[in-house]
Amino acid sequence: MGREVVERKVPELDLRPLSNALGAEVCGLDITGEFTAAQTAAIRGAWNEHHILLFRDVDWSPAEHISFSRLFGELDIHEATPFDRLEGYPELLEVTNKPKNGKPSETRNTGRNWHSDYAYTNRPSASSMLYCVEKPPVGGDTMFCNMVRAYDELSPTMKEIVEGLHAVFDFSLVGRQNSEKTAELRLLNPPIAHPAVRVHPESGLKALYVSERASHFHGMSKAESRPIIDYLCRHATRHENVYRHSWHTGDLVLWDNRTTMHVALADFDQTKPRRMLRTTLLGEPSGFLVPKADEAA
């Protein structure tokens, strides 16, 4: 006798749209307990459709954060930015403006330009899961844009142009404070070129993969590349293509780095603490290192 259909049915999620452009809040689902394969598949399906998912009022430990994240793929241990890892948990990045070891935090100004995570590595992040531990009374928002829609709304001629390009991502454009650690991170992460249009491996959707951290297109000079990069970034980050997230303590935001960009806003009193923890799912190997001799003038 065959298994009943009810056992194979993927449960429906209670989703609330976050904006017209992208994003959905998952309501009424406790993610701190055990998960079935069907529940994991339902979350993955909603994530692929909406690009960003939000869970509210999450209260968990670093170990629980890591355990939940592993349901969706292999986790990065953040060797590209080893100084930013949470002590004892290499799978977690700590993004905070709180001093560490008596010194200003290296991550206090992280993410201040439009980007997708770890684009400057040879395995750019598939997705990220950012958990709000502590937030300032006002501000500290993050904005996200839909790179699938940005690609879809290009003219056929511009699509043809960008699909033949590789964007060169440069760690020096990350915008960190200059320090000995910053210089070391630049050596760890030399310029790398990735296709300017990516195909999502699960949904099959095409998305732009160009950001403010792209210095130029491979085979083109910086002067030739800059107007195209600037146009694509402006096009992608138009108000109607953006969701702005105002954080609450206990928020967990999941975003797909292959179909979105984001920017962390400096719209808060820096004397007030802000502390976030992030897991990062490894993406597919991509791109090629740009030889020093080939870097654009």
Is residue 129 within 8 Å of 251, Cβ to Cβ?
A: no
Q: Is the pLDDT of residue 5 over 60?
A: no
Q: What integer best gives the mean pLDDT of the chain?
A: 94
The 10s digit of each residue's pLDDT in 156-209 is: 999 999 999 999 999 999 988 767 788 899 999 999 999 999 999 999 999 999
pLDDT on residue 7: 39
Q: What is the pLDDT of residue 238?
A: 98
Q: Is the pLDDT of residue 2 over 50?
A: no
Cα separations (Å) of 25 from 36, 70, 154, 254, 271?
20, 20, 28, 10, 30
Helix residue ranges, H only, 60-162: 62-70, 147-152, 156-162
Place of tokens 């030739």: 224
- The CA distance from 72 to 70, in Å, is 5
Chain centroid offset of residue 93 CA? 13
Residues 16-75: tens digit of each pLDDT: 999 999 999 999 999 998 889 999 999 999 999 999 999 999 999 999 999 999 999 999
Query: Residue 98 — pLDDT band, cuts 50, 70, 90?
Result: very high
- 293 has a pLDDT exceeding 70: no
Q: What is the mean pLDDT of residues 266-275?
A: 96
Where do the structural domains in the chain lie, given as residue ranges? 10-283
What is the model's pLDDT at position 10?
Answer: 52
- CATH classification (class only), 10-283: alpha beta
- pTM above threshold 0.85: yes
pLDDT at position 101 over 90: no
Determine the residue type at 140.
G
Left if phi > 0, otherwise alpha if psi is -120 to 50, otherwise beta: which for 195?
beta
